[in-house]
Amino acid sequence: SQELEQSPQSLIVQEGKNLTINCTSSKTLYGLYWYKQKYGEGLIFLMMLQKGGEEKSHEKITAKLDEKKQQSSLHITASQPSHAGIYLCGADIYGYALNFGKGTSLLVTP
């Protein structure tokens, strides 16, 4: 199966600082998904990347997929307390389901 490794496992940043979360795959990614999860709740869809070199942005969050389609990064600019949560990357498997990384826990301090 496709293994996804996320780094770092956890992150504490001061409000206003930038941060980056990485997601690395053992195989070529055909579709890479980023989700945010509040503790104990469902997943909120952030972005989906499919093409090598693709970059998408939504508000202060930017996600990129490298040319080789084995690594993705999620960058948050000027972090806010509302960005706190667990960020998960997911890769498609079987063509209709997702395999997820372990997640990155983000805490934003005042």
Near another protein by CB under 8 A, which window of 18-26, 65-73, 75-83, 93-101? Answer: 93-101
Q: 49 in helix, strand or coil?
A: strand
Closer to another protein by Cβ: residue 79 or 86: 86
Q: Is the peptide bond before 81 cis (omega within 30 degrees of 0)?
A: no
> Is residue 42 a contact point for another protein (CB under 8 A)?
yes
Closer to another protein by Cβ: residue 12 or 44: 44
Beta strands in the chain (DSSP E): 4-7, 10-14, 19-25, 32-37, 43-49, 55-58, 61-65, 71-76, 85-93, 97-100, 104-109
> Is residue 98 a contact point for another protein (CB under 8 A)?
yes
Which residues of this chain interact with another protein, rule CB under 8 A?
30-31, 33, 35, 40-45, 48, 50, 88, 90, 92-103
